[in-house]
Amino acid sequence: MSEQPIAMTATDRFALGVARILVFLRWPVVLLGIASVVAAGYGGQFLSFSNNYRYFFAPENPQYKAFTELQNVYSKRDNLVFVLRPKDGNVFTRETLTAVRWLTDEGWKLPFVMRADSVTNYQHTQAEGDDLSVADLVKDPSALDQAGLERVRAIAINEPLLKDRIVAPDGHATGVVLTMVMPDKSPIEASTAMAATRAVVDRFRTQFPGIEIRLTGSVALSNAFSEATQADITTLVPLMYLVVALTSLVLLRSLGAMFCVMIVLTMATVAAMGLAGWLGMTLTPPSALSPVIILTLAIAESVHVIHNFLHELRGGRTRFEAVIESTRVNFGAITLTSVTNAIGFLSLNAADAPPFRDLGNIVSLGVLTTWVYALLFLPALLAILPIGKRGNVVSDEGGGFMRFLANFVIKLRIPLAVTLSALTIWLGMQIPKIELNDQFVNWFDRSIEFRRDTDFMIEHLTGIYTVDYSIKAGESNGITNPAFLNKVEDFANWARQQPNVLHVFTLTDIMKRLNKNLNADDPAFYKVPDDRQLAAQYLLLYELSLPLGLDLNDTINVDKSATRVIVTLKGVVSAVDTRAFKAKADAWIAANIPSSAGVEGASPAIMFSFIAQRNIDANLFGTGWAMIAISFFLIVPFRSLRLGLISMIPNFVPIIMTFGVWYFLVGRLGMASSIVTATSLGIVVDSTIHLLSKYIRGRRELQLSPEDAVRYSFSTVGPALWILTAALLLGFLVLSLSPFEVNRAMGLLTAICIAFAIIADFFLLPPLLMFVDRRNRDRAAVPAPAE
Amino acid sequence: MQKTIAAALLALALPALAHAETPEQKGLAIAVESQKRNTGWVDSKVDAKMILENKQGEKSERNMRLRALEVVSDTDGDKSLTYFLSPADVQGTALLSFTHFKTPDDQWLFLPALKRVKRIASANKSGSFVGSEFAFEDLLAQEVERFTYKYLREEPCPTDEAKGLVCFVSERFPAYENSGYTRQVSWVDKKDYQVRKLEFFDRKAEHSKTLLFTGYRQYQGKFWRSHTLVMENHQTGKKTTLSLGNFELNAKVDQTEFDPDALARLR
C-alpha cells in the first residue's frame, strides 16, 4: 500500500502532525491510555442484567400502556406455574393431592407471592342445607377414600375455572399457580423469586419422586432473559476472542502483532462497557451482544494500523517512521468508517424496544473507544514494543490473485452487472413473502430451561399466551346487572368457539355456580341470576366467605364497574394469530357491549405480538436517517455527488439479497429484522469507502484510466478487505450461536449481508464506476480536488 | 375476662418491679392498660364510610351502619352488626358476627333479595372485607386475648395528630387460628394508650400493610375513638379509607337485634 507523499491532503497533514506527537509522547500516551481504560472500566460494576420482560417495552408503547392500565385497575401481577405430572398418570390420588397441598402451602411462603391457586385450595362452593359452604376442595388429602377421590376428580375436571387451566381435562396433569406482585425496587427480583422457587422444586423432587415437576410463568420468562444474557456473555465473548486471535494471526503473521490487536480490542471493549455502566445502562440479551459486536468492528480498525506499520517496517523504514506513516494513511479512512459505523448503530435509537437503543448506544461508544485506542493508543504502543522486523522486502500479499480478479471484473463487467441486478430484483421479490412473527417462548432455544418447561406445560396442561379484557359495565356496581353479566357470558362463549382458544376465565362461571348453590344445587339455576340485587348479594356473601389471597380483587375492580376476562390461547400461537384474535375480540366487544366499546385486549402476549411490526416501523425512520447520513459521508469526502450516490448501490443490494435469501432459508422473521438494515449498512459501507477512496486516488492523483484505477484499488486494499470481511463474517456468525433467537437471527442476517456486500463491492461497484466514468470520458478524469 | 383482670392487677403492681419486667410482660401490660381505658362503653352505634382506591386512582364507596355490643368474657369477643346502606344493590344486607378468641367466629348474612339469612360457615377472618384492604380480623375489637405481645421500644408517635406524644412500640402475634399475619407492630401513645399506627406482616413475614389511626375524639370524658382509619397495601398499591361518624356509646341499642333470627326484621 505505497502512498504518494507528494499528493498530501489537509487530512493527511493533520494526521501526520498527530502521528508525530504520538511518537514523541509515546510513554505518556500509553500510560494515559491504560489509566483511561481503568477509569472507564470501573463503571462496569454498575452494569446490571435486566430481569424483567417489560424492559422490552418503552413507556409510550400503546400495548404496554394498555397492559399497565389494566394492571393498575386490578393488580400488577406476575406468575410462576408449577406443572405437575404424576408418573402413574393420575392426579387424583392421595399421594399426588398431598404433594399439591404441600406445594400450595410452600408456595405461599415464597417471596412476593400474593396468591396461590391449586386444585386443593380451589374454593369449592356447594349448598349445605340452607347455607352456602365455601371451602378448600381438598382440605386433607390423606383423609380421602376412593369415593372421595372420585368426587374431587369429577368436580375438578368439570369446573370451568379449573379445567384446561389448573387441571388437564384427562386428569393426567395439574398446576399450582403462584401470583406474585414484584415491588420493582431491585433489578434482581425475578432472580430472587426464581432461586427461592427452584429450591422448593428441588425439595419437591426429593419428597415426591413419583411426580414430574416443571416451572414456568412470567417470572420464569423474565429470569430466562437474564440467563440468556449471561449465557451470551460467558460463551460468545471468549469464542469471539478466539476468532479475533486467529484472524489477526493469519493477517499479520506475527504473535506480537496479534498480542497488540488483543490489547487494543480488550481496552476498547472494557472502556465501552464501563462507560455504559457509568451511564446506568441495563443489559438485556440484545445489548449483551455489544462486546462481541465491538470486538468485531474493532478488529478491522486495529488490523489496518498494524498491517500498514508492519508493511512499512518490513519495507525498510525505521520503527518511528513506520508508525507515523501507518497513522497518516489510516487516519482519514478509519475516522470515516468509525463515523459510518456509529451512524448505523446510533440510528437504533429510533427503535421502539429500549434494549435495541441500548445496543446501538453501547456499540457506538465502542466505535468511539476503538477510534481512540486504535488511532491514538496503538501507534504509541507500536513505537515502544519490539514488534516486527525491519527488512527490505516489498511483499505482494494476494496481489497476483487481485490482479486476476480485477481483470476478470473489467472483462465481464456487463454480464456481471446484469446478472447481479437480475438476482437482486428476483431476491427482492421474495421479501414480501416473509412472515413476520415473534413468539416469545420460541425466542429461547431448548438449552434454556424456560423453553423446555413451557413446552411441557403447553403439551400437558394449558397455554401461556393469554389475552386479558377489562369489560366495563358503564356504571358503578354495574357488574351484577344481569343484562351485563349475560353479555360477558356471551363474550366468553363466543371466545371459546374461536380457533386457538383453550380457556376463558370469567366471573360469570362463578355467578352461575353461586346461583345454583343458593338454590339447593338445582342444576336448572346454573345460569346468571336474573335479578340485579340478588346477584350483588350472592357476590357479597361469596366474597365475605373467601379466605386471604383468594378474593376476587383480581377479577372485579374496586368500583365493581368492570370485570376481567382472561382468554388463554392454545399452545404457541403465532403473532399473526394472536393479533387476529385480538382484533376480532375487540370488534366483538365494541359491537355487542357498547359500555365497553374501545376496550382492547392486553397482555404480555399481545405486547410481544406487536413488537416486530412496531420496531420495523420505528426503524424505517432510523434506517432512512442512517442512509442519508451515510450517503453524505460517501459524497462529501470524495467530492463527487455522482460517485457517492453510485456507491450507495452496492450497499442496498446486499440488504435486499439478504432478506431474499432469508425467505428461502428461514421464511420467518422477528424483531431482529427491524435493526439489521441500519446496523449492516454502517458496517458494509466500510469496504465501499476503502475501495472508492483508492479508486478516486488512482483517478485523481495517479491520473489512471477507470480500468487501471479499478486494478489499483483491488491490489491496494483488496487482500485486506477480503480477510477483514472474513473476520466480520466469523464475528457475526459467533452471534448466531446465541440461545436467544433475536440474537441468532441478527447475527446470521448480518453475516449474510456482509458476504453479499463483499460480492457487490468487488463485482458490482467496479462495473458501475467504469460505466459512470465512461459516460464522462470526454471530460477527462474526475475533477481533481481543489486544494 | 378474669385473666384480663388478673393481668391488669399485675400491671398495676408492676411499676414497683419495672426493672424486672420482660419485654413480653411490658407488651402485655400496655395492651391491658389500653383495654382498661376502653372498658364499660356497653354498646355503640356508628356510621361508617369506606372509600376504596386502586393504583389507577379509581375510587369506590361503601356505606354501613355499625352496632356493637361489649362482651366481657375470656372466650368471646364483642358482638357486631353491620348493616349495609350502599351500594344500592346490597342495601339492607346485614352481617351479624359473634367473635370468639379460640374458636371460629359465628357469622350470618341476611340477603334481602332472597329474604333469607345465610350462615357463613367459614374460618375466614383473613379475607378481604367487601373488596377493601381491611381484612375482617383488622376490624375486630382489639381485645387483649387475641394476641401475645412483645414490647420493643419507645419513640415519638408517628401521626401528625399525635406529634409531641411518645409511643410504645410493641410487636403482637395473633393467638387465633387462620390469621393472615405472622405479626403486627403497634404504636400506642403513652398518654391515652390509643393505637396510632399498626403495621401488618404477612405469611412470608413481609411488611404488607400499614394502618394509621387519626381524628381521635373523646366520648363521655373517657372513651377515645379514631374517626379516620387509612389502610395502605404496600404490595398492591391499593388503599382504603374508613371514616367513622356519629358515634354513640352507651347508646341503649336493642340487644334482641343481635340474633340471627332477628336479622330479617332489621331496617
Q: Which three cell numbers stand for residue A541?
A: 356473601
SS3 A129: coil
Per-residue pLDDT, A5: 41
Answer whether B130's CB lies under 8 Å from A543's CB.
yes
B118·A130 Cβ contact <8 A: yes
**Residue of chain B nearest A560, judged by CA positions:** B60
Indicate the length of chain B as a whole number: 267
| B118–A541 CB contact, under 8 Å | yes
How crowded is residue A386: how many other Cβ atoms within 10 Å of its Cβ? Answer: 7
Residue owning grid cell 404424576: A86
H helix intervals, A557-640? 575-592, 604-635
Question: Which DSSP string do the residues of A628-657 spell out, in sequence order?
Answer: HHHHHHHHTTTT-HHHHHHHHHHHHHHHHH
Of B190, B250, B216, B211, nearest in space to B69 by CA: B250
DSSP tag of B125: T
| Selected residues 20-79 of chain A with any CB under 8 Å from a CB in chain B | 69, 71-76
Three-state DSSP state, B100? strand
CA distance A671 to A659: 14
Note the pLDDT tens digit of each residue in A689-701: 888 888 888 888 7
C-alpha span between A144 and A97 (Å, rounded): 10
Q: Which residue has the higher pLDDT, A178 or B266?
A: A178
Cell numbers placing A615:
420496531
pLDDT score of A535 more than 70: yes
For B:133-192, CB contacts with A below 8 A are: 135-136, 178, 180
Alpha-carbon span A730 to A726, nearest angstrom:
6
| Interval A302-319 mean pLDDT | 87
Task: Tell me the CA distances in angstroms from A217 to A37, A447, A740, B168, B188, one per residue in order.
Answer: 41, 17, 18, 44, 43
- Using CB atoms, pick whichever of B54, B120, B235 lies closest to residue A544: B120
Q: Spell out a b/e string for A559-591, using b for 16 or more CB atoms within 10 Å of the CB, else e.
A: bbbbbbbbbbbbebbbbebbbbbbeebbeebee
Q: Give B-chain residues touching A114 at CB under 8 angstroms.
A: 235-236
Report the percentage of chain A scoring pLDDT > 70.
Answer: 96
Nearest-angstrom CA–CA distance, A786 and A710: 23
- pLDDT confidence band for A704 (50 / 70 / 90): confident
DSSP A461: T
Q: Is A534 part of the contact surface with chain B (CB cutoff 8 Å)? A: yes
- Chain A hits for B87, CB-CB cut-off 8 Å, are 476-477, 536, 560
Q: Select from A74, A537, A559 the Cβ nearest to the Cβ of B114.
A: A537
Contacts for A668 with CB less than 8 Å, ≥ 6 apart:
A434, A435, A436, A437
Chain A touched by B52 (CB under 8 Å): yes
Query: What is the chain A residue with the closest CA to B50?
Result: A558
More confident residue, A407 or A159: A159
Nearest residue of A to residue B93 by CA position?
A537
CA angle A762, A763, A765 (to 5 degrees): 75
The total number of residues written for chain A in this structure: 787
Bridge pairing between strands A435-436 and A668-669: parallel
- The answer to whether A628 faces chain B, any CB pair under 8 Å, is no
pLDDT at position B228: 96
CA distance B219 to chain A (A): 32
Contacts of A54 (CB under 8 A, 6+ apart): A64, A222
Nearest to A547 among B124, B204, B236 (CB): B124
A470-485: pLDDT as tens digits: 999 999 899 999 999 9
Q: Positive or negative CA dihedral for A122, A125, A128, A130?
A: positive
| Interface check A540 vs B, CB under 8 A | yes
Using the Cβ of B63 and the Cβ atoms of chain A, whether some distance falls under 8 Å is answered with no
Question: Chain B partners of A104 at a C-beta cutoff of 8 Å?
Answer: none
Q: Which chain B residue has its CA at the smallest distance from A478's CA?
A: B89
Does residue B53 belong to the interface with chain A, where contact is any CB pair within 8 Å? yes
Taking CB atoms and an 8 Å cut-off, how many pairs form between chains A and B? 150
Q: What is the model's pLDDT at position A784?
A: 44
CATH architecture type of domain B3-266 = Clam (2.50)
A707/A767 Cα distance (integer angstroms)? 9
Contact assignment for B107 to A544 by CB distance below 8 Å = yes
Only one residue has cell 446465541, namely: A738
Distances B113 to A535, B110, B121 between C-alpha atoms, Å: 9, 9, 20
Chain A residue numbers with beta carbons less than 8 Å from the beta carbon of B237 are 72, 75-76
Mark which residues 577-616 of A lie under 8 Å from B by CB. none
d(CA B95, CA B101): 19
pLDDT tens digits for range A179-230 = 998 888 877 888 899 999 999 999 999 999 999 999 999 999 989 988 888 8
Please give the single-letter amino acid code of residue B196. Answer: R
Q: Give the other-Cβ count within 10 Å of A666's Cβ.
A: 14
pLDDT (tens digit per residue) in A57-92: 988 899 999 998 888 888 778 899 999 999 999 999
DSSP structural state of residue A166: T
CB contact under 8 A, A537 and B88: no
Helices marked H in A159-285: 189-207, 218-231, 237-252, 255-278
Nearest C-alpha neighbor of A292 from the set A211, A376, A232? A232
In tens, the pLDDT along B27-53 reads: 999 999 999 998 888 999 999 999 999
Q: In this model, does residue A610 exceed pLDDT 50?
A: yes
Using a CB-CB cut-off of 8 Å, the residues of chain A touching B235 are 112, 114, 181, 183
Contacts of B110 (CB under 8 A, 6+ apart): B92, B93, B94, B95, B96, B116, B117, B118, B263, B264, B266
Contact B87 A477 (CB under 8 A): yes
Nearest to A109 among B124, B204, B234 (CB): B204
Residue A609 contacts residue A438 (beta carbons within 8 Å) = yes
For B133, nearest residue in chain A (alpha carbons): A553
Neighbours of A154 (CB within 10 A): 12
pLDDT in tens, A711-764: 888 887 887 788 788 888 888 898 888 998 888 998 999 999 999 999 999 999
pLDDT confidence bin for A776, thresholds 50/70/90: low
- Cα-to-chain-centroid distance, residue A658: 19
Q: Can you give the pLDDT at residue A649?
A: 87
* Gap between the Cα atoms of B48 and A568, Å rounded: 41
Residue of chain B whose alpha carbon sits nearest to that of A540: B130
Q: What is the pLDDT of residue A786?
A: 38
pLDDT of A514 higher than 90: yes
Which residues, numbered 502 to 521 in chain A, qualify as contacts with chain B under a Cβ-Cβ cut-off of 8 Å?
518
Q: What Cα–Cα distance (Å) separates residue B220 from each residue in A110, B42, B138, B160?
A: 48, 12, 25, 24
Name beta bridge partners: A720: none
C-alpha distance from B25 to closest chain A C-alpha (Å): 30
pLDDT of residue A396: 57
What percent of chain A has a predicted confidence (pLDDT) above 90? 48
All structural domains of chain B with their residue ranges: 3-266
Q: Mean pLDDT, to the nearest integer, of A430-440?
A: 84
CA–CA dist A58, A53 (Å, integer): 11
Q: Which three cell numbers stand for residue A414?
A: 456487463
pLDDT for residue A51 is more than 60:
yes
Asked if A551 lies within 8 A of B53 by C-beta distance, the reply is no
Distance of alpha carbon A229 from alpha carbon A49, whole angstroms: 7
CB count in 10 Å sphere of residue A429: 12
Query: Is residue A768 very low, low, confident or very high in pLDDT (cuts 50, 70, 90)?
Result: confident
Asked if B236 lies within 8 A of A69 by C-beta distance, the reply is: no
Cα(A462)–Cα(B252) distance, integer angstroms: 59
Low-confidence residues of chain B, pLDDT below 50?
A: 1, 16-17
Considering A484-488, A610-614, A633-637, A757-761, the range whose residues carry the highest mean pLDDT is A484-488
Matching residue, cell 389507577: B56
B116/A contact by beta carbon, under 8 A: yes
- Convert the pLDDT of each residue in A14-50 to its tens digit: 888 998 999 899 999 999 999 999 999 999 888 887 7
Output the nine-digit C-alpha cell for B146.
Answer: 387475641
